[in-house]
Amino acid sequence: MKKIEIIIRPSKLEDVKQQLSAIGIHGMNYTEIRGFGRQRGHTEVYRGSTYEVDCLPKIKLDIVIHDEALDKVLAAVTSSARTGNIGDGKIFIYDVLDAMRIRTGERGNAAL
Amino acid sequence: MNAADTAFVIICAAMVMLMTPALALFYGGLVRSRNVLSTSMHSYASLGLITVLWAVVGYTLAFGGDVGGLIGNLSYLFLNNVGAANNGPVDNLPHTAFMAFQCMFAVLTVALISGSYAERIRFSAMLLFSALWLIFAYCPMAHWVWGGGWMAQMGAVDFAGGAVVHMASAAAALACAHAVGPRLNLGRSMSPNNLPMTLLGGGLLWFGWFGFNAGSALAANELAAHALVTTHLATAGGILGWMLVEWKRTGKPTTLGVISGALAGLVAITPAAGFVGIMPSIFIGFVGGIICYGGVLLKNRLGYDDALDVVGIHGVGGTWGAFATGVFAIASVNKVDGLLAGNPHQLWVQVVSIVATWVFVYVVSRILLCIVNALVGLRVTPDAELSGLDLSEHNERGYSL
């Protein structure tokens, strides 16, 4: 099992969700986060004073999948989240030891 | 006694009362979310504290019989002799109506100062300073201008409070900014927490200002109608002035700029509303919007932290308005001619009143702040400031979303 952590633009959340549903991923969690990387922040002006805001809003999706599904998922995410500009986000992939569905006690892939 | 005038002034008093909650919304939206309640509290505390002090001692010091041109006597202490009879300064109104109308001005003026020390003052210090300031700064100023004191005797005119309300609160605000010192981490992440709330507050201030300026005619007459029109037009001019200069300087017009420009126009026309013609009022508001934009930039140049720009808007706008009154006043409106109508003397007395107001109120405020600092300490600890005054001073949070 793999856990993938996907950081994307907030405007791309719906596209990514739709693409993942289309390839059979029916569960995920997402969090609204703030952060910065290579993409520069933006400028805000209040009464003539200019402030540089460097932390931008992003969405972080967490999904746990079967090992075989990984390439399909990566392809779906990159095709739906990419704009080609700096700030499209990153994907981190982790190995998962085990999983368990609380209701039934199922373990491993069956719990996903 | 006149029933129409009485009804009008009662409604205007209620409209001016609404300006203080409106100010709480206006200021509350501009601070960071951890100080939204403390900043709103400054306005509501003024409604409680200043109202009571006004009834006990403030009204008589401002409007009691003149003592040497400096202060009112104690004939109205505890509102003694202030009843339904028309024995007040104006004989078309019950004395109570006049007293209540003036009470709302005092409350608002004290609340206005809070924009400068927001986000770092100790609440007890704010209360003590406000109480002392009402007695030692506001009451003398109100007496000098409206209670028959030396500024009135000299012939300086201030229709609805350019000196008493706006310059006085701004001079106090400057003293507070100097005495309390700048906020920690100034310049980093100072985004307003809720600009829509600020816009709502600003809009309500505009509404209340009709009571403030038109009501200052103290009668439902032609002068009140004139003041309402000049007030509305100057505010519109202020919006355009601020928007224009901001668009040119930073590339985009902002909603905060538009509502700040409206306020600048309102402040600028306040002393002039019942003295200048209608077309000049547009000019006064327009120029007010432009120079108040410059006014808010001053604090960065001069290095004081007037958090919500009381000096930049009320100080600069009020000073401009008092000056412009001396330039544009015309006797056909209200018996006073200014420079353009061939009476340069009026401009001279306006300038004297401007300088006297700034110097008197600044000096008194600094002295009072010294006393308050020695008694309770002006400023919260750095930890309390960084965690926000809502929690550290009031055990509350504004938003639990």
With an 8 Å Cβ cutoff, are B260 and A47 in contact?
Answer: yes
Predicted local distance difference test score (pLDDT) of residue B386: 94
- The CA angle B170-B11-B215, to the nearest 5 degrees, is 50
Is the alpha carbon torsion for B85, B91, B95, B96 positive or negative?
positive
Residue B238, min C-alpha distance to chain A (Å): 14
Using a CB-CB cut-off of 8 Å, the residues of chain B touching A53 are 189, 191
Across the range B177-197, mean pLDDT stands at 91
Across the range A39-58, mean pLDDT stands at 85
- Which residues, in sequence order, are CB contacts of B201 under 8 Å at separation 6+? B22, B23, B24, B25, B26, B27, B28, B29
Using a CB-CB cut-off of 8 Å, the residues of chain A touching B257 are 47
Longest dimension (CA), chain A: 60
First to last CA, chain B: 54
Asked whether the ipTM of the predicted complex exceeds the cut of 0.85, the reply is no
Predicted local distance difference test score (pLDDT) of residue A40: 75
The pLDDT confidence band at residue A53, using thresholds 50, 70 and 90, is confident
Identify the residue among B254, B292, B316 best suited for mutation to test binding to A, counting A beta carbons within 10 A and taking the highest. Answer: B254
What count of CB pairs under 8 Å joins A to B? 32
| Strand order, beta sheet including A56-65 | A29-35, A56-65, A2-8, A90-95
Whether residue B369 is predicted with pLDDT greater than 90 in this model: the reply is yes
Using a CB-CB cut-off of 8 Å, the residues of chain B touching A48 are 246, 249-250, 293, 296-297
CATH number of the domain that A23 lies in?
3.30.70.120
Query: What amino acid occupies position B253?
Result: P
Query: What secondary structure does DSSP assign to B261-320, as a single string?
Result: HHHHHHHHHTTTTTTB-HHHHHHHHHHHHHHHHHHHHHHHHHT---TT-HIIIIIHHHHH
Buried/exposed B309-321: b ≥16 CB within 10 Å, e otherwise: bbbbbbbbbbbbb
pLDDT in tens, B277-335: 999 999 999 999 999 999 999 998 999 999 999 999 999 999 999 999 999 999 999 99
The partner residue sitting opposite A47, judged by closest CB among B189, B252, B296, is B296
Whole-angstrom Cα distance, residue B308 to residue B208?
A: 20
Residue B43, min C-alpha distance to chain A (Å): 22
The partner residue sitting opposite B296, judged by closest CB among A48, A51, A53, is A48
Contact B130, B362 (CB under 8 A): no
Whole-angstrom Cα distance, residue B273 to residue B321?
A: 9
Number of Cβ atoms within 10 Å of the Cβ of A37: 12
Whether residue A51 is predicted with pLDDT greater than 90 in this model: the reply is no
The pLDDT confidence band at residue A42, using thresholds 50, 70 and 90, is confident
Using a CB-CB cut-off of 8 Å, the residues of chain A touching B189 are 51, 53
If DSSP codes are grouped into helix, strand and coil, which group holds residue A26?
coil
Residues of B with CB under 8 A from a CB of A: 187, 189-192, 246, 249-250, 252, 254, 256-257, 260, 293, 296-297, 300, 309, 312
With an 8 Å Cβ cutoff, are A47 and B187 in contact?
Answer: no
Predicted local distance difference test score (pLDDT) of residue B340: 96
Query: What amino acid occupies position B275?
Result: F
With an 8 Å Cβ cutoff, are B252 and A47 in contact?
Answer: no
Query: What amino acid occupies position B274?
Result: G
| Higher-scoring residue by pLDDT: B55, B401 | B55
Least confident of A16-20, B24-28, B285-289: A16-20
Using a CB-CB cut-off of 8 Å, the residues of chain B touching A57 are none
Whole-angstrom Cα distance, residue B47 to residue B36?
A: 17
With an 8 Å Cβ cutoff, are B190 and A46 in contact?
Answer: yes
The partner residue sitting opposite B256, judged by closest CB among A47, A51, A53, is A47
- Which residues, in sequence order, are CB contacts of B137 under 8 Å at separation 6+? B168, B172, B360, B361, B364, B365, B368
Whether residue B203 is predicted with pLDDT greater than 90 in this model: the reply is yes
First to last CA, chain A: 9
Enter the tokens of residue B262.
């409206």
Predicted local distance difference test score (pLDDT) of residue A112: 87
Contact B144, B76 (CB under 8 A): no
Alpha helix (H) residue ranges in B31-118: 36-53, 59-63, 95-117
Using a CB-CB cut-off of 8 Å, the residues of chain A touching B31 are none
With an 8 Å Cβ cutoff, are B254 and A45 in contact?
Answer: yes
Identify the residue among A43, A45, A47 best suited for mutation to test binding to B, counting B beta carbons within 10 A and taking the highest. Answer: A47
With an 8 Å Cβ cutoff, are A47 and B300 in contact?
Answer: no
Total domains, chain A: 1
Using a CB-CB cut-off of 8 Å, the residues of chain A touching B190 are 46, 49, 51
For chain A, helix, strand, coil in percent to 5 are 30, 40, 35
* Chain B residue closest in CA terms to A46: B256
Domain positions in chain B are: 3-394
Q: How far does CA B44 lie from the centroid of its chain?
A: 15
Whether residue B194 is predicted with pLDDT greater than 90 in this model: the reply is yes
- Which residues, in sequence order, are CB contacts of B335 under 8 Å at separation 6+? none
What is the phi/psi pair of residue A38, to 5°?
-75, -30
With an 8 Å Cβ cutoff, are B246 and A44 in contact?
Answer: no
The partner residue sitting opposite A51, judged by closest CB among B190, B293, B309, is B190
Count CA within 13 A, CB hemisphere, residue B166: 33
Enter the tokens of residue A71.
């390439």
pLDDT in tens, B220-270: 999 999 999 999 999 999 999 999 999 999 999 999 999 999 999 999 999
Predicted local distance difference test score (pLDDT) of residue B191: 87
With an 8 Å Cβ cutoff, are B300 and A49 in contact?
Answer: yes
With an 8 Å Cβ cutoff, are A46 and B309 in contact?
Answer: no
The set of long-range contacts for B357-361, using a CB threshold of 8 Å and a minimum separation of 24, is B357/B141, B357/B163, B357/B167, B357/B168, B357/B171, B358/B167, B358/B171, B358/B319, B360/B137, B360/B140, B360/B141, B360/B171, B361/B137, B361/B141, B361/B167, B361/B168, B361/B171, B361/B172, B361/B175
The CATH number assigned to the domain with range B3-394 reads 1.10.3430.10
The pLDDT confidence band at residue A39, using thresholds 50, 70 and 90, is confident
- The residue among B38, B115, B129, B40 whose CA lies nearest residue B389 is B38
Query: What amino acid occupies position B162?
Result: G
Query: What secondary structure does DSSP assign to B219-239, as a single string?
Result: SSSHHHHHHHHHHHHHHHHHH
Whether residue B188 is predicted with pLDDT greater than 80 in this model: the reply is no
Residue B313, min C-alpha distance to chain A (Å): 11
Whether residue B135 is predicted with pLDDT greater than 90 in this model: the reply is yes
For chain B, helix, strand, coil in percent to 5 are 75, 0, 25
Share of chain B above pLDDT 70, in %: 100
